Amino acid sequence: MRLNYIRNISLAMVAASVIMACSEEDVERADYIAFEGKAVELETPLDGSGATEYKVYTTVVAGSDRTFSIQVDKDATTADAADYTVPSTVTVPGGSNVGTFSVESGATNIGKSIVLKFAPNESTIVGSVMRINVFEECNENLLFLDFLFDDYPEETAYGIFDAEGNWVAGNAAYGEYAGLTQTRERICLPDGSYTLVIYDSYGDGIPGGTFNLRNVSDGSVLASGGGEFGTSTSGEFTLP
């Protein structure tokens, strides 16, 4: 017990001496850079290419421009490198903590992703990777359907029907969400009246889970629910 006590005192003294050795200038220089999000989107038309601007943020505002290197994580990226363009650097202007850069992709990468990371930097702590998911451009009403699942996500499915009862979007079969805890469906629809139907194959709904359908353009919630609802539950909505 006494040896452990002496050892702990010694370690504490070493740690204190290291902290004291760090000047205020060293603390002020501590910096961190991160992408705007861990998962973002890039839309591209079927007959061409699309580009989106993304932001990076630092914790320190410097008096002069700073340039950071961006790399593509080739092991995690599924997109075809021949059909996307990623800059090798991003600049954070002096007097600001925000920098911007653009990524461009062609239609061959729809449904795939580009994963970016910062190159190691001795003077700056770098944040986690950013996954850019490439989608077909939506020129109508873009909707997000967010699911938070119960313990049996494979039992959940959804369908969207127009005013005439025609199926216009949804799952082809149960089982698509197996192994997931949550997910987001991206839906593009023209103006009109619709019905969202959430299905559960077991017949107990989504106990402890939720679903939320919203219009991306204005953030309005079009339908939402969850909990126990039997084999299905539905909600009507109109676009725009």
Residue 12 reports pLDDT greater than 80 = no
| pLDDT tens by residue, 164-221 | 999 999 998 999 999 999 999 999 999 999 999 999 999 999 999 999 999 999 999 9
Residue 125 reports pLDDT greater than 60 = yes
Q: pLDDT value at position 136?
A: 95
Q: Half-sphere exposure of 102 toward its Cβ, with a 13 Å CA cutoff?
A: 7
**Beta-ladder partners of 164:** none
Quickly state the pLDDT bin for 20 (edges 50, 70, 90). Answer: very low
| Coil, helix or strand at residue 52 | strand
| Coil, helix or strand at residue 3 | helix
Q: pLDDT value at position 122?
A: 87
**Beta-ladder partners of 194:** 162, 237
Residue 1 reports pLDDT greater than 80 = no
Residue 139 reports pLDDT greater than 50 = yes
Quickly state the pLDDT bin for 93 (edges 50, 70, 90). Answer: very high
- Residues 215-221: contacts with CB under 8 Å, at least 24 apart: 215/141, 215/142, 215/143, 215/239, 215/240, 216/142, 216/143, 216/144, 217/141, 217/142
Residue 19 reports pLDDT greater than 90 = no
| Coil, helix or strand at residue 9 | helix
Give the type of residue at 138.
C
Q: pLDDT value at position 30?
A: 61
- For the segment 77-83, the average pLDDT, to the nearest whole number, is 98
